[in-house]
Structures are given as C-alpha cells and as structure tokens.
Amino acid sequence: MKFWLIYRTDLGEPFVYGITDDKKIKDKFWDQRKHSKFYIKEFSVPKKEYLNALKSYSQLLLLDHGLLTKSKDSITGLGTIPIIITSDEEIKLYTSQDRLTIEMGKMTKPYCKTFKPKLLEALYDLQYFYFRAMQESPIVEPFLPELDRVFQDNWPFQAIDEFGVFMMLFGNTLNLKKILKKG
C-alpha cells in the first residue's frame, strides 16, 4: 500500500507534518503549500504497517476542507475556500476561533447590560464593542492587525472568517496564488 509523509523543513530539524494515502489529496496539499517549507516522502508497505503509521500520526492526517470566508459572489456574503489541512491544523484553527469568540464576548457582556435598547442598537451599528474588546483583551491583542479580516462587517453577529484565522496561524506555509485562483 502506498502512502505519503509530508515533512516540514523550515523550523530546524525536519519533522512529520502530514500523512495521507490519497494521491489526489497529497498533490493538492503540495500545490497549495510553499515547496521551500516541505518535502514529501513516498512509502510502499503492507496495509498493516500503514495502519500502524496512521495510528502514530493520526493528528496529522490530511483533510480536504472548505474554510468559511467572505465572498462577494454569494447572496449571504459568505463562501468557502477549499484547502487541504492536517487534523492538527484543524484543531488549532477551531481552538483559536473559540478563544477569540470567548474573549470578544467577555468584553461586550458588561456593557450590554448598561445601555437602553436603542442606544445598544446604535453601538452595534458603530461596532463599538468590537473596538472596546480590541483595547482590553490580552488574548485578542496579538491579532489586532488582522481582526478586520477575521470578523465579518456586522460584528458581533457575524460568522468568524475561518480562512482569516487560518492565515494568521499558517499563512506562511501557503501558496496563496494557487489557493485563491478562481475556477
């Protein structure tokens, strides 16, 4: 049985970054990532050995994913960008999204209780709570330059831009010309 291990090479000693037995997934990952940061090694082994390797690297399994993002082509203003990610990248992506959402929510709750409904509505329209949260949260602070890309226009009622968060975490590994190419 054939499978591929993807090694990351730009952070010192090379280490296993991903695993797949699907040639199309492997090729798409390679197409979407910067070649200077990775190399791929092919293995041909009995299925039992592959399953053992998969157990060892299950958090590194390559997944075909669609990351939510803004889209002018959609009625809802939301779309997805197809991308191959590892299970580990997926976990880090959703953990980061959860932390951002929780921290931004903490910042807005105390203020919501003190305003009358009309004033509260106006403050939401002005994105007051978004800016207030940016000023106060040590968790949000490292993301400040990127938050306008991460949150949709009507914060806090919007979806988080998964692709924006992914870019903050792993953007240095991506070949954006290939990922963002239309058609």
For the stretch 39-63, pLDDT in tens is 999 999 999 999 999 999 999 999 9
Cα–Cα distance, 166 to 159 (Å, whole number): 14
Q: Which of 41-50, 71-80, 125-134 has the lowest mean pLDDT?
A: 125-134
* Strand ranges, E, within the chain: 2-8, 15-20, 38-44, 62-70, 78-86
* pTM exceeds 0.85 for this model: no
User: What are the Cα distances from residue 7, in Å, to 11, 19, 20, 71, 106?
Assistant: 11, 9, 12, 33, 39
Q: Contact at 8 Å (CB) between 37 and 9?
A: yes
Q: For residue 183, is pLDDT > 50?
A: no
Confidence of residue 10 (pLDDT cuts 50, 70, 90): very high
Listed by start position, the domains of the chain span: 2-65, 68-179
DSSP class of 115: S
Which residues, in sequence order, are bridge partners of residue 82? 66
Cα–Cα distance, 27 to 43 (Å, whole number): 15
Q: Contact at 8 Å (CB) between 5 and 18?
A: yes
Q: Across all residues in the chain, what is the average pLDDT?
A: 77
The residues, any chain, with a CB within 8 Å of residue 58's CB and separated by 6 or more, are 87
